[in-house]
Copies of this chain bind each other. A is one copy, B any other.
């Protein structure tokens, strides 16, 4: 959490710091990101950043949070347009569109999220997950849990697993796109195609057994 000092800063200066820190964490994983570069580009004193934030991690969590908030807001707005009690696959499609919209309008915010999903060091993942798990993972798990309850998807689908799969695939598609292998439109359509597949594959089937024959959780 930033120190009070940070919020006493003139708006413009605070903005500049946020912006340049965002740039840095969008372009590099945590350890490769450099505080020195941030303060240098922001034109502030090296020591000042420690007046505003406890340390590098504190700054990172703050920046990550801003990106997460923005994305969450976009998703919730998209969901609000879906009407009452939308299906989980409609939610997913809406979330995808919202996510890609954000990636188009603000690629750096999106990059911060993508980078985090690549983060490996537990010393980095831990604090961030601790801070944001409820906001991200918990929300999605709820979607799937509901979908199972409403019978929209088969009962053998585990929420955490579905969420992880969706997240992973979405991130992969966005990176594939960010690396220039696809246009944003192609990536979005592709991912909606994946949802189609999931929708088709995950829905309860008429077959006896209530799940895929050879795998899945049958206990």
List A residues at the B interface (Cβ < 8 Å): 28-29, 31-32, 93, 115, 118-121, 156, 158, 160-161, 164-165, 168-169, 171-173, 176, 181, 186, 188-202, 211-218
Q: Is the CB of B186 within 8 A of A93?
A: no
Q: Which residues of B contact A197 (CB under 8 A)?
A: 197-198, 201-202, 212
Complex Cα distance, B119 from A160, in Å, reads 24
Q: Is the CB of B158 within 8 A of A190?
A: yes
Q: Is the CB of A196 within 8 A of B218?
A: yes
Q: Which residues of B contact A119 (CB under 8 A)?
A: 118
- Least CB distance, A214 to chain B, in whole angstroms: 6
Q: Is the CB of B192 within 8 A of A214?
A: yes
Complex Cα distance, B168 from A168, in Å, reads 7
Given contacts A29-B29, A31-B31, A176-B164, contact A216 B201 (CB under 8 A): no
